[in-house]
Amino acid sequence: MNKSRIKHLLLGKTLNEGLIGKILIYSLLIIIGFVYLYPIINMIVYSLKDLDDLVNPTVQWIPTKIYLENYRTSIIVLSYGKTLLFSLAVTLVPAILQTITCSFAGYALAKYRIKGKIIIFGIVLMTYLVPTQVYMIPRFVYFDRLGILESAWSIIFPATFGQGLSSAIFILIFYQFFRMQPKALDESAEIDGATPYQIFLRIGVPLAAPAYLTSFLFSFVWYWNETYISSLFIGNDLYTLQLKLLNFTSQFGLTSGLSQQAVNEAIKYSATILIILPVLIVYIIMQKWFVEGIDRTGITGE
């Protein structure tokens, strides 16, 4: 084997063709995967340990037996069924309404000549750039006057009018997506006698399906993980799963000893898994369309 063949074998024409390049790429992927998967694997293993395994320093990654009592206790403490339904009410409904409202705004900005469009874009961007803490007190007072505090409406109401979590991002996504659609389609529909509403519903919406899916999924995840706004507006009688998790320590009282602390940690891990499970199921089901939507809308991460 001559030197040129050895060089081609080790380096290749491109980075991913040569042996050295493949080793570097797969090593990097393994390291990145380990960084992301290690906390999840550790959390799952810890949640499946009983007291004997928790206090035994020799038991690390493989429990001596599968112990599900931690999950049963978490379900009881979280009031999982009732709290899950309420969490979906303040997550799924606002996500749907926000997606629809932002699509209206994005379509109008992309398809119609509006006076002061630059000013409108500036206002939209300001709603995203201004920290949430700046306008929380005025919003709290306003919601109190409307009588929607300590209810799901305090979360649903802003999303209905395009003022939900990061609505500006979704408006810009829809604006960019609708702006990329050929004007010839709209003009052909107008010639055939279609109204503006028909053009939007029959041409704009189907072609913007990836944008709708991406906006809905991001909105759903952000509402699901939200705790600051929920703790401020919902009150003390209603809890989302995330708020329940924040108050998890008080449900068990003060720990007394290493064993009790280990048990409480195992229960907290099992509760965390139960909380992220709905989002994980949604992502597994819609993974294909989610990745396609991100690719077509140009989102690179948050």
Q: What is the 3-state secondary structure (H, E, C) of 174-214?
A: HHHHHHCCCHHHHHHHHHCCCCHHHHHHHHHHHHCHHHHHH
What's the rounded mean pLDDT across residues 57-76? 83
Asked if pLDDT for residue 249 goes beyond 70, the answer is no
Q: What is the pLDDT of residues 84-116, one digit of tens each?
A: 888 888 898 999 999 999 999 889 888 888 888
- Record: fold of 81-297: MetI-like fold (1.10.3720)
Q: Degrees (nearest 5) of the Cα angle 37, 214, 174?
A: 150
Task: Say yes or no to pLDDT of 257 above 80.
Answer: no
166-191 average pLDDT score: 85
Mean pLDDT on 4-32: 70
Task: Fill in the amino acid letter for 111.
Answer: K
pLDDT above 80 for 33? yes
Flag whether pLDDT at 252 surpasses 70: no
The percentage of residues in the chain with a pLDDT greater than 90, rounded to a whole number, is 4
In the predicted structure, residue 48 carries a pLDDT above the cut 80: yes
Check pLDDT > 50 for residue 301: no
Say which range, 8-12, 133-137, 199-203, has the weakest mean pLDDT: 8-12
pLDDT at position 300 is: 42
What mean pLDDT, rounded, does the chain reach?
80
Q: Give the pLDDT confidence score for residue 293 in this predicted structure.
A: 59
Where do you find CATH 1.10.3720.10 in the chain?
A: 81-297
Tell me: the pLDDT tens digits for 110-156? Answer: 888 888 888 888 888 888 888 877 888 888 888 888 888 888 888 88
